[in-house]
């Protein structure tokens, strides 16, 4: 299944992230619920590097949601901040790390660079 | 007739009522109890024996506390009042109201006291026309509780009202059938909790480290601590001291702890902007560095945490961009507004770098500059990678969110704000002049940070070279030689937008202006087209779009004027700076209370009184901060190495001013100033 959260975690989240500040660090656990089953993914962020593992250990931030919600996040169809406000995902612990997690998920598909958009319709209220 | 409004504030929670303390929906004003961008009470009306009450007096004890003394019916000199009611309300993390009924007669008396209670759970974005919502109400008379609940999918907001005195609770409120002894009293405490439901229906704030600790928001001790850390002002003019104290109190109550962060940051202000606005918050920080520097590290860290990371058209987001608005209401949650994290601003990103550098100059906090190297570097990179949309070296903006993104992504953010002298709107993307000033300043300051703290001299050289080229290009392309000022903006093809505006002051503030052009700008800023006697108009009179009640087409903004006055002093126009400071101080002296966000641009001799615009907020962080910045500017406060430089240039009539215990890298230092008349007197 392309664009799934698990695939995104393994392929895009694990590894080097020069776009993250070096000073950002911490541990997150993502709890992906599917029916009665919950899958735990553990992210360790340190010096622009993210390690991804399967583990149910305690973390500084725990993020819980249905697998489908994580899939939509991974596909850029749902915004982390909006998902939190909607209560589609719940968090416990250090909320700053949720803002970091936001940067490990993609933006919406088809978003344009401002130069591409320049000159197009954008004016008048 | 416009109703008088009474408010209590604690961070982004606030309650607005009428003069009697009652709250009822008004499409023109956010009346009710609000928190985290949701209205939790839209109906809160007290009656005694079925009658509304009338206020005899009101005491606004503090921003977070009010007391109303009321009597039933219409006040008539022929009717003896034998009962009165006192409502004492306060707001902190929750809303609290103590109701006391006093029986003044020599006989015991029976009353039916009722509080009508309701909520529409409107989002602050829809006050003018709230959507109908299905509200579930649970009345529990045994426990004296009323629960109002709104749910949409998993999004749930709840209002929990409880009473200490027993009463009858129904779907529409609480009724107390009471007997009060002769000359006796009865009271109850009504407590209102607001719940943003998270995991398991508990408030989501309860599961966050940042909010778990005891919040001291809205308490006397909290305010006293804040006040003690700020400098003390001693002035011959008592009105200056009270205006100063008021501004400090405003800034204290207009701080809130966001979900993602534990330290408090400024909200925009009452009533429409009780949320984080990146621009307002950073300008407030810049204004208040010599007074309340603690606002700045929290603001910088939070904005760094929320820095843009992706391309996202709906949120006008790009990597490195600094946020402009953050809200928590239903409209943000369901993407009906882009405000869950909105980035539609071109100025916030250079301002972030400017604030970081300026903060270090005052505080000596090198650790923060090192900690924020990456976000600052991303911000600087954003300017060229994403901001220079035409590739001509100018920072420009054009919204990609054409549904409900902001048309003008600068401080003049009303849709018709950017127009030439004849009222014609330029094409997009627009390069307004102040943006170029900010970029110039950000690069000069970024170069200093790179050289002194980031150990990156090569990058520093590059930024300085870019800044020098920008300055040259800007002074060539924006300058209107016939009119002797800089154009408001350039169109995509380079055509100047020839309007005369207060943005000239921002250019002086940023340092991009060639010194030989300073005199012409100072003359414009203090000339009759721009200066109206209270301050500098956003848009000069004598141009077709000029409108004294147009927010950005003629009205006067204190925050704008604070930057202008500071810019004028930077270029040595001390008398002009003093004139503006005197004008803005006279606004607050005439009106009393807090400095409004904006006043009308009518000439001062015509109205004699500062005319407030209906939509203008009060108190507003960046207006209250403006008063402090003007004070710092006329005293000529400036960090120089590890010392505080003081170079006063006070308006005539200001007498002697002492600002004691100015915090900074020097520890604490005192500043003294005296106006010219005073100095001459002393010399004789």
The CB-side HSE value for B268 (13 A sphere, CA atoms) comes to: 20
The arithmetic mean of pLDDT across residues A32-54, rounded, is 97
User: How far apart, in whole angstroms, are the C-alpha atoms of residue B101 and residue B188?
Assistant: 9
> Which residues, in sequence order, are bridge partners of residue B668?
B663
Residue A62 lies in a domain: yes
CB contact under 8 A, B389 and A19: no
Tokens of B599: 């006043």
CB contact under 8 A, B427 and A95: no
**Number of compact structural domains in chain A:** 1
CB pairs under 8 A between A and B: 150
Given CB atoms, is B306 within the 8 Å cutoff of chain A? yes
Contacts of residue A120, Cβ cutoff 8 Å, sequence gap at least 6: B398
Residue B486 clears pLDDT 60, i.e. is over it: yes
| DSSP single-letter state for residue B610 | P
Task: Give the model confidence (pLDDT) of B642-670 as tens digits.
Answer: 999 999 999 999 999 999 999 999 999 99
Given CB atoms, is B310 within the 8 Å cutoff of chain A? yes
Selecting from A92, A95, A119 the residue whose C-beta is nearest the C-beta of B492 gives A119
CB contact under 8 A, B198 and A111: no
Cβ B489 vs Cβ B431: under 8 Å: yes
Task: Give the model confidence (pLDDT) of B576-628 as tens digits.
Answer: 999 999 999 999 999 999 999 999 999 999 999 999 988 788 999 999 999 99
The arithmetic mean of pLDDT across residues B552-572, rounded, is 98
CB contact under 8 A, B389 and A93: no
User: How far apart, in whole angstroms, are the C-alpha atoms of residue B87 and residue A84?
Assistant: 37
Task: Give the model confidence (pLDDT) of B366-379 as tens digits.
Answer: 999 999 999 999 99
CB contact under 8 A, A23 and B374: yes
Residue A117 lies in a domain: no
> By CA distance, what is B426's nearest residue in A?
A123
Tokens of B143: 């426990």
The arithmetic mean of pLDDT across residues A69-73, rounded, is 97
What is the model's pLDDT at position A123? 43
> By CA distance, what is A19's nearest residue in B?
B309
What is the model's pLDDT at position B284? 98
What is the model's pLDDT at position B16? 96
Cβ A101 vs Cβ A63: under 8 Å: yes
Selecting from A85, A106, A118 the residue whose C-beta is nearest the C-beta of B332 gives A85
Question: Considering only B106-115, B218-227, B590-599, B639-648, which range has the smallest mean pLDDT?
Answer: B218-227
Given CB atoms, is B198 within the 8 Å cutoff of chain A? yes
CB contact under 8 A, A87 and B198: yes
CB contact under 8 A, A98 and B260: yes
What is the model's pLDDT at position A120? 59
Selecting from B304, B318, B407 the residue whose C-beta is nearest the C-beta of A125 gives B407
User: How far apart, in whole angstroms, are the C-alpha atoms of residue B310 and residue B317?
Assistant: 6
pLDDT level of residue B681 (50, 70, 90 thresholds): very low
Given CB atoms, is A58 within the 8 Å cutoff of chain B? no
Cβ B599 vs Cβ B623: under 8 Å: no
Compare B276 and B220 and report the one with higher pLDDT.
Answer: B276
Cβ B28 vs Cβ B1: under 8 Å: no
pLDDT level of residue B28 (50, 70, 90 thresholds): confident
Residue B407 clears pLDDT 50, i.e. is over it: yes
What is the model's pLDDT at position B212? 56
Cβ B307 vs Cβ B345: under 8 Å: no
**Structural domain for A102, as ranges:** 5-109
Given CB atoms, is A109 within the 8 Å cutoff of chain B? no
Task: Give the model confidence (pLDDT) of B424-456 as tens digits.
Answer: 999 999 999 999 999 999 999 999 999 999 999
What is the model's pLDDT at position B63? 87
Mean pLDDT of chain B: 94
Give the distance from residue A106's alpha carbon to the nearest chain B alpha carbon, in angstroms: 7
Task: Give the model confidence (pLDDT) of B339-352 as tens digits.
Answer: 999 999 999 999 99
The arithmetic mean of pLDDT across residues A41-66, rounded, is 97
Selecting from B259, B335, B407 the residue whose C-beta is nearest the C-beta of A82 gives B335
| Cα angle: B601, vertex B285, B669; to 5 degrees | 110
What is the model's pLDDT at position B469? 98
Contacts of A12 in chain B (CB under 8 A): none
- Positive/negative CA dihedral, B288, B292, B293, B296: negative
CA-nearest of A99, A1, A96 to B211 is A96
Which pairs with CB-CB distance under 8 Å and at least 24 residues apart come from B377-380?
Answer: B377/B454, B378/A19, B378/B307, B378/B319, B378/B320, B379/B307, B379/B320, B379/B321, B379/B322, B379/B349, B379/B350, B379/B352, B379/B353, B379/B442, B380/B353, B380/B442, B380/B443, B380/B446, B380/B463
From the centroid of its chain, how far is CA B485?
30
The arithmetic mean of pLDDT across residues A23-27, rounded, is 97
Task: Give the model confidence (pLDDT) of B66-89 as tens digits.
Answer: 999 999 976 666 566 899 999 999
What is the ipTM score, two decimals?
A: 0.95
pLDDT level of residue A119 (50, 70, 90 thresholds): low
Q: Would you call the peptide bond into B429 cis, given omega within 30 degrees of 0 as the criterion?
A: yes
pLDDT level of residue A125 (50, 70, 90 thresholds): very low
CB contact under 8 A, A85 and B387: no
User: How far apart, in whole angstroms, are the C-alpha atoms of residue B683 and residue B501?
Assistant: 40
pLDDT level of residue A122 (50, 70, 90 thresholds): very low
Selecting from B210, B312, B399 the residue whose C-beta is nearest the C-beta of A108 gives B312
Selecting from B260, B374, B386 the residue whose C-beta is nearest the C-beta of A114 gives B386
Task: Give the model confidence (pLDDT) of B164-189 as tens digits.
Answer: 999 999 999 999 999 999 999 999 99
Give the distance from residue B222's alpha carbon to the nearest chain A alpha carbon, in angstroms: 24
pTM reported for the whole predicted model = 0.96
Question: Among residues of chain B, what percentage have pLDDT more than 70?
Answer: 96
pLDDT level of residue A2 (50, 70, 90 thresholds): very low
Compare B526 and B210 and report the one with higher pLDDT.
Answer: B526
Strands B145-152 and B155-163, by their bridges, are: antiparallel
Give the distance from residue A60's alpha carbon to the nearest chain B alpha carbon, in angstroms: 9
What is the model's pLDDT at position A25? 97
Given CB atoms, is B317 within the 8 Å cutoff of chain A? yes
The CATH number of whichever domain residue A34 belongs to comes to 3.30.1050.10
Residue A123 lies in a domain: no
Contacts of A78 in chain B (CB under 8 A): none
């Amino acid at each position: 299944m392309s664009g799934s959260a698990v695939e995104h975690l393994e392929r895009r989240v694990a590894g080097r992230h020069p776009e993250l500040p070096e000073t950002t660090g911490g541990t997150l656990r993502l709890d992906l619920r599917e029916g009665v089953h919950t899958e735990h993914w553990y992210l360790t962020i340190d010096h622009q590097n993210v390690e991804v593992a399967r583990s149910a250990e305690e973390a500084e931030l725990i993020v819980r949601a249905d697998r489908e919600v994580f899939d939509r996040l991974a596909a850029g169809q749902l915004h982390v901040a909006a998902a939190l406000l909607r209560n589609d995902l719940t968090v416990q612990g250090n909320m700053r790390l949720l803002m970091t997690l936001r940067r490990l998920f993609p933006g919406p598909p088809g978003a344009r660079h401002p130069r591409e958009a320049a000159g197009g319709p954008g004016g008048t209220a | 007739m416009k109703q008088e409004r009474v408010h209590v504030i604690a961070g982004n929670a606030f309650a607005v009522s009428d003069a009697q303390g009652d709250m009822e929906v008004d499409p023109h004003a956010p009346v009710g109890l609000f928190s985290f961008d949701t209205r939790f009470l839209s109906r809160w009306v007290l009656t005694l024996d079925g009658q509304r009450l009338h206020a005899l007096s009101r005491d606004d004890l503090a921003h977070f506390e009010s007391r109303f003394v009321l009597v039933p019916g219409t006040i008539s000199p022929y009717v003896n009042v034998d009962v009165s009611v006192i409502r004492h309300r306060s707001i902190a993390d929750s809303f609290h109201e103590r109701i006391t009924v006093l029986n003044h007669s020599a006989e015991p008396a029976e009353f039916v006291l009722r509080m009508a209670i309701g909520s529409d759970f409107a989002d602050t974005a829809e006050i003018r026309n709230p959507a109908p919502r299905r509200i579930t109400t649970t009345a529990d008379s045994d426990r004296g509780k009323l629960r109002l609940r709104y749910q949409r999918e998993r999004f749930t907001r709840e209002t929990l009202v409880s009473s200490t005195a027993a009463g009858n609770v129904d779907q529409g409120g609480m009724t107390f059938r009471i007997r009060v002894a002769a000359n006796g009293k009865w009271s109850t405490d009504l407590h209102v909790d607001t719940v943003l439901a998270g995991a398991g229906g508990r408030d989501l704030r309860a599961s966050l480290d940042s909010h778990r600790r005891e919040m001291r928001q809205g308490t006397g001790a909290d305010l006293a601590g804040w006040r003690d850390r700020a400098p003390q002002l001693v002035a011959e003019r008592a009105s200056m001291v009270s205006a100063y104290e008021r501004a400090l109190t405003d800034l204290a109550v207009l701080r809130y702890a966001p979900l993602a962060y534990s330290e408090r940051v400024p909200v925009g202000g009452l009533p429409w902007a009780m949320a984080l606005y990146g621009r307002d918050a950073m300008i407030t920080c810049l204004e208040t560095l010599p007074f309340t520097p603690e606002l700045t590290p929290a603001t910088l860290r939070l904005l760094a945490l929320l820095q843009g990371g992706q391309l996202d058209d709906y949120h006008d987001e790009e990597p490195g961009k600094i946020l402009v608005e953050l809200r928590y209401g239903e409209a943000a949650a369901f993407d009906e507004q882009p405000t869950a994290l909105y980035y539609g601003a071109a100025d916030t990103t250079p301002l972030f770098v400017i604030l970081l550098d300026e903060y270090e100059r005052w505080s000596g906090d090198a650790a923060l500059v090192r900690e924020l190297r990456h976000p600052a570097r991303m911000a600087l990179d954003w300017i060229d990678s994403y901001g220079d949309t035409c590739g001509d070296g100018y920072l420009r903006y054009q919204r990609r969110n054409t549904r409900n993104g902001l048309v003008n992504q600068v401080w003049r953010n009303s849709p018709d704000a950017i127009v030439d002298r004849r009222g014609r709107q330029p094409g997009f993307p627009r390069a307004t002049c102040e943006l170029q000033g900010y970029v110039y300043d950000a690069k000069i300051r970024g170069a200093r940070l790179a050289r002194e703290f980031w150990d990156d001299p090569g990058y520093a050289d590059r930024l300085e070279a870019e800044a020098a080229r920008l300055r040259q290009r800007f002074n060539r392309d924006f300058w209107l030689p016939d009119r002797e000022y800089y154009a408001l903006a350039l169109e995509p093809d380079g055509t100047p937008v020839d309007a005369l505006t207060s943005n000239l002051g921002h250019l002086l503030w940023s340092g991009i202006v060639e010194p030989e052009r300073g005199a012409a700008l100072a003359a414009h800023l203090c000339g009759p087209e721009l200066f109206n006697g209270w301050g500098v108009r956003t848009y000069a009179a004598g141009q077709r779009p000029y409108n004294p009640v147009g927010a950005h087409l003629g009205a006067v903004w204190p925050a704008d004027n604070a930057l202008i006055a500071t810019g004028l002093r930077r270029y040595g126009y001390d008398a002009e700076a003093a004139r503006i400071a005197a004008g803005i101080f006279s606004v607050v002296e005439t009106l009393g209370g807090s400095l409004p966000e904006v006043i009308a641009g009518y000439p001062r001799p015509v109205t004699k009184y500062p005319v407030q615009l209906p939509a203008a907020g009060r108190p507003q962080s960046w207006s209250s901060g403006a008063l402090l910045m003007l004070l710092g500017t006329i005293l000529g406060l400036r960090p120089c190495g590890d010392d505080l430089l003081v170079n006063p240039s006070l308006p005539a009539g200001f007498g002697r001013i002492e600002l004691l215990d100015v915090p900074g890298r020097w520890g604490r230092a005192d500043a003294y100033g005296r106006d010219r008349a005073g100095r001459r007197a002393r010399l004789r």
